[in-house]
Amino acid sequence: MDIFLTLIGVLFMCLGLVGSILPILPGPTLSWVGLLLLYLTNAVPDNSTFLILTLFIALLVFALDYIIPAIGTKKFGGSKAGMFGTTIGLIIGILSPIPGGIIIGPFVGALLGELSNKADSQTAIKAAFGSFLGFITGTFLKFIVAIVYFGFFIKTFWEYKNIIF
């Protein structure tokens, strides 16, 4: 059972990394589930304090992921249409064969979103930049948390690998 929980935990860790970039998946939260599964094995001793603290951080980052782009958009004079455009642009950018689509897509999406909201081109570019900057900041934060959680997972697994297997 320990091997099964560990393998499922690795799967959640990988989903957490992917989810830190894709807005559809809650990256840090999925990574935390991976940590939880590792700690549910008989090999790894319980550490409630660690799990509660990492859960709190995952939930905080999850909430900030919705707040940071709004702050960036508002700070640069954008609208909800710009934030919506950023998300649509990201999805198209990921699916696009264009190199750098994951970077270009959110910006173009935010720009088109602002232009569709009847903003003049100068205001739309400024707002698109704010929305894009907020998106990149949130994504970077989620990715860092997912990487750190994966590091915790690997460190803990390595420490107890002989007992797990």
SS3 string, 28-81, reads HHHHHHHHHHHHCCCCCCCCHHHHHHHHHHHHHHHHHHHHHHHHHHHHCCCCHH
Residue 81 binned pLDDT confidence (cut-offs 50, 70, 90): confident
Summarize pLDDT for 83-122 with one digit per residue, the tens: 788 788 888 888 888 877 877 888 888 889 889 987 788 8
Residue ranges of domains in the chain: 2-164
Residue 151 binned pLDDT confidence (cut-offs 50, 70, 90): very high
Phi-psi region of 98 (alpha: psi -120 to 50; beta: other; left: phi over 0): beta
Helix (H) or strand (E) holding 25: none
Residue 10 binned pLDDT confidence (cut-offs 50, 70, 90): very high
pTM of the model: 0.82
Q: Is there a contact between 51 and 149 (Cβ–Cβ < 8 Å)?
A: no
